[in-house]
Structure formats: C-alpha cells, structure tokens
A and B are shown apart, each in its own frame.
Chain A
C-alpha cells in the first residue's frame, strides 16, 4: 500500500495512459517493433536472392551453364553469353590487386610501425576520406585525367620495354582494361590500408621488443615477426578489397571502353559484369535480354558474397588470436 500511496500523493507525475505513453512504457511493443525491423532485414535479403533467382530463370532455362562459358553477346539475335564480362571483371580486379596490395601493405606498415601515433591517425583519417569519394568522381577523373596521363606517359615506355608480350599489344585509346585496373586500384587501396593497419596494430608489442632485443633491425622485426603474425588478417583485408573491386560499377563503366571482347591485351577496351548491367539495363528490351542481365547480377552477387564471407572469417580469426 505504501507504494501506491507514494504514487498517489503527487510526488510523481501521473503516468497518462495515452497510446504514445503505452508505447513508451510498453516493453512488449518495443520488443515487437524492434523484432519486426530485424525480421524485415531478413525478408529484404531473402527478397534480393529470390528476385535475382526468379528473374534470371528464362536465361538459365534457355542457355543453362553454357551462359557462363559462351562469349557471344548479341542482343539483336537473342544470343547471350557471360564470358567476356566475367573475363573483364577478373582481369581488372586482378590488375587492381596487383597494384594495390604492395602499395597498401607498405603504407599500412608505415602507419602502424613507423609513424608517431598522432601522425598515423591523421594520415589514416585522410586515407579513409579517400574511401568516401563517390565512385562516379573516380570515373570522371579516370576519363579526363588518368586515361590521358596513362596514354601519354605510361603506355609508350611499357610498349617500348615489353611490347613483345601479348598483354601489351595493339593500339591504345585511353579506355581499356589497364585504365580500369588503375582506377580500381586507387579505389580499393584505402580498404587494404585501414584494415591491415588495424591488424598490424593488434600484434602484441612484446613480439617487437623481443625481436629488437636480440638485435634485429626495425625492418627485420616488421618483415619476419610482425607481418607473419598479422598474415591472416592482411589476407582478409585483400579479400575485402577484392569484393569491392568485383562489384565496383561506375568508375569501371566510364573507363573500360564497354566492348564485349576477350583479348589478352590490357591496352584494348573490354567490359565487366557490373558495367554491362549499368550500361544496358535501362534500355534492354526483350525478356531474355533483361533476364540475362539479371543473371549476370546473380553471378556478381554470388561472387561477392563468397569473398566477403571469406574476408570476415580471416579478419576475425586474427582479431581473436591476438585478443
């Protein structure tokens, strides 16, 4: 009775029992509302998979697995094959990783092992800003700045030195696998740097002290002790970057040349999965055409999901081990 008297005495403002108040006070309502939102996310992801699957059925039924290995892309003749796009996506991503991995890991080493903490966090902040730049801006700079630079200063010496290799044959117009790879590498390098830096920082300081104490130089300590310790996490950061590169659309579309051809030469124009969807989807007519583009989307979805999952496992194992 004491409690009820306390509440009745006017010490505490009376709780109104309007709808809003019941909502505020009601644990059940809050629980159900938040639960519903969580389930909504599950439903959305389910819908993504379902829509991609159901809408690519016409293509799967017509071409079967041949779709993935055929290189014929002829919308007018209703012949569709994904190989040129898969090839282009793989080539540009591989090229991007080739450039971004050494650059990214070296910068991560500098930021975690050498730079004073204040400088390191300032530089990391700037590098993370680089990741915030919209991809269409990279594309804009790619077309008007990077491609001309590559054309004028990079390709001539490359062709002079390695022109006999099949990957440096033919004429160069600016738009090409090479330009797309370079733009992509700039876009993914911030991911490699910021994740690798964190993984490196998580390596216990005692490991470094022990190595330095037995007479190793700073570099030997980093290369032989710290890096091997952080290896799994660094590989994880590379996978993360790879997933970004595979799904990247705008910048690649703007500099790859949009030609569905498979050639060994990095100097010739090509196409990628994401680019063909971006370029042709809005104008695609005919259900088989649209369905083929959606199937390409499904392929891209599957690839990035697998690689992202692998990245997550790798990064979290390192984090757990050092914890």
Chain B
C-alpha cells in the first residue's frame, strides 16, 4: 500500500497554507502602515501651538486646536455621564434581577441599538435635542455619543458580573446582607477592574466618532462656553480640515488625526492590559 501523499496534493497544501499566512501578514501590514504613516506625517505636523492656540481664520496659516481638544473632553464627559450609568444599571438588572423572558427582550433591544449606524443616532439626537432647543450644542453631541455608549456598557457590565462566582453572593447573603448590599458591596467590587476597563474601551470607541457630531455638536472656531453652544471636537476638525482645499489645513488635520489615534490606542492598550492582568491573576 502506498501511503505517500501525491506531489500535487502536497503542493496545494503548501500553496494554500502559504497564501493564508500571506493574507494575515497583509492585514497586519495595513495596521502598521496606518500607524507608521500617521506617526511620521502627524508627528511632523504637530507643534506646541496645536495644543495651546485657537484655529486661525481661513487664509492665515498657523493656529492650533486647543478648543477642539477641550471640546472633545467636554462632549465625552457628557456622553459618559449619560451612557455609563444607564448601561451599568441595566447590566446589573440583567445579571442580578431579571427574569428570563424580560432579559431576552432587553438583550435583543441592546443588540439592536448596538447595530444602529452612528449617523442615524446623530439624526435622532438632532430631532430630540437640537430641534427643540433651536441650535446646535455640546449637549446634543453628548446625548448622541451617550446613546452610542449604552449597548457596550450593558454588555460589559452583565458579562463581568456574571463572571463573579456565586459563592461570593451566597457568602454575603449568609452573613445577612440584603440583595442590594450584596450586589453593590461584594459583587460589583469583585468585578471592578473588568468594569472599568470595559468602560474605557467603550469611551475609546466613541471618542473617534465623527458622524453623530456633524449636526449635533457641529463645530466652533472659538472657545465654546457652557454646554449650550456649538462646540468643536477633534474628529470633526480632522474631517473639516481634511476636505478643505488649503494645504496648511491638511497638515493640521494630520496632526489632529495623530493626537486622536494616539488617544484612542492608548486607552485601548491600557484597558486591555488591565483585563489581561485580571485574567492572569484569577487563573492563579
């Protein structure tokens, strides 16, 4: 009996497996190309005045995006204070209180919300906030991004609370703690590192969102005082400057893109490191 594999089959094997490896390298290559190009081009265009100055009126060169950096911070703060509490509490409900049928409904609707395109969320925030108030505002942008944060907040909370062993709950209850006390002083603290890193990933995801801000926060060439005026944000500035005709603005767009991507990747890496460390310590 001849057990040898025919040459043709061997060749197919080698070629196809090689190709699949090549595809992986190609995808990873794209990532490094993006990072490298932005680092090189954005880093080159980045100046100290980018962080300290306001944008210059069109025609003049120089200027910075201090207002957009602060603006992004304000809008994200609002978004977090809307999206995270609602999402967290709903996640607690799903993990600790809910009956099966109702939990199924909520989970289904949360998935649905997660799939809504960001531009559609922008339209809804426009209809709910901008139109009644009759002007674009930081609040409208915060509402749009806040809605987008809810699904991930629910899912992370439920997932990490479910990962807490039941023996901890039973221990607390056996000592006479009420259910609420058990949840908020035993279960949630046990899951806290996962919860925090989950919310960080959530924040990183919406920090780069542009589409829902276009007609809610709009943009602003000056400082935006309070919460009710149009406000500049980094992603919208990248967009506006990239499609503008002036070469100087393109340089600023690269610089802003560089800052935005560094921010998003830094939050991502930190959060993933926290999760990985948590997983390693629980395995021990």
Contacts and interface: CB of A to CB of B under 8 A. Distances in A.
Given A41-B90, A139-B239, A254-B239, A26 B180 contact: yes
A304 B8 CA distance: 44
A106 B209 contact: no
A134 interface: yes
A217 interface: yes
Prevailing SS type, chain B contact patch: helix
Interface in B75-106: 85-90, 92-94, 96-98, 102, 105-106
Interface string B112-133: 1101111111111011100000
A243 B114 CA distance: 11
Residue with the greatest number of chain B CB neighbours at <10 A, chosen from A33, A190, A250, A312:
A250
A264 interface: no
B208 A254 contact: no
B178 interface: yes
Nearest to B115: A308
A136 interface: yes
A41 B86 contact: yes
A47 interface: yes
A23 B181 CA distance: 9
Interface string A176-200: 0000000000100110010000000
B193 interface: no
B24 A37 contact: no
A305 B180 contact: no
B238 interface: yes
B117 A304 contact: yes
A111 B23 CA distance: 11
Contacts of B85: 37
B106 A110 contact: no
B30 A130 contact: yes
Interface string A27-42: 1011101111110111
Nearest to B31: A130
Interface in B171-229: 178-181, 183-185, 204-205, 207-211, 214-215, 218
Interface stretch (B12-20, B52-60, B63-71): B12-20
B103 to A, nearest CB: 9
Contact of A35 (B93, B205, B209): B93
A140 B97 contact: no
Contacts of B5: 215, 217
B243 interface: yes
A137 interface: yes
Interface stretch (A61-69, A80-88, A141-149, A153-161): A141-149
Nearest to B98: A38
A219 B116 contact: no
A132 interface: yes
B238 A41 contact: no
Given A41-B109, A41-B110, A277-B123, A189 B118 contact: no
A103 interface: yes
Given A52-B123, A137-B261, A297-B120, A29 B180 contact: yes
Given A27-B179, A249-B117, A249-B119, A35 B16 contact: no
Residue with the greatest number of chain A CB neighbours at <10 A, chosen from B96, B123, B124, B180:
B123
Nearest to B121: A48
A106 B205 CA distance: 27
A217 B4 CA distance: 11
B152 interface: no
A277 to B, nearest CB: 5
B31 A274 contact: no
Given A30-B183, A134-B208, A52 B124 contact: yes
B217 to A, nearest CB: 11
Given A140-B238, A274-B211, A249 B113 contact: no
Contacts of A137: 34, 38, 208, 238, 257, 260-261
A63 B161 CA distance: 50
A33 B190 CA distance: 21
A129 B27 contact: no
B211 A250 contact: yes
B21 A110 contact: yes
B120 A301 contact: yes
B208 A301 contact: no
A55 B123 CA distance: 10
B198 to A, nearest CB: 14
A133 B218 CA distance: 22
Given A189-B27, A297-B119, A220 B242 contact: no
Interface stretch (A120-128, A162-170, A202-210): A120-128
Residue with the greatest number of chain A CB neighbours at <10 A, chosen from B17, B121, B207:
B17
B179 A42 contact: no
Interface in A41-67: 41-42, 44-45, 47-48, 51-52, 55
Contacts of B261: 133-134, 137
A24 B180 contact: yes
Given A123-B28, A129-B265, A300 B238 contact: no
Closest 5 CB pairs of A and B: A134-B208, A247-B117, A34-B93, A37-B89, A30-B180
Interface of B: 3, 5, 9-10, 12-13, 16-17, 19-24, 26-28, 30-31, 34, 37-38, 85-90, 92-94, 96-98, 102, 105-106, 109-113, 115-124, 126-128, 136, 147, 150, 154, 178-181, 183-185, 204-205, 207-211, 214-215, 218, 235, 238-239, 242-243, 250, 253-254, 257, 260-261, 264-265, 268, 272
8 contacts: A33-B89, A41-B113, A48-B113, A48-B121, A106-B19, A137-B238, A254-B239, A274-B211
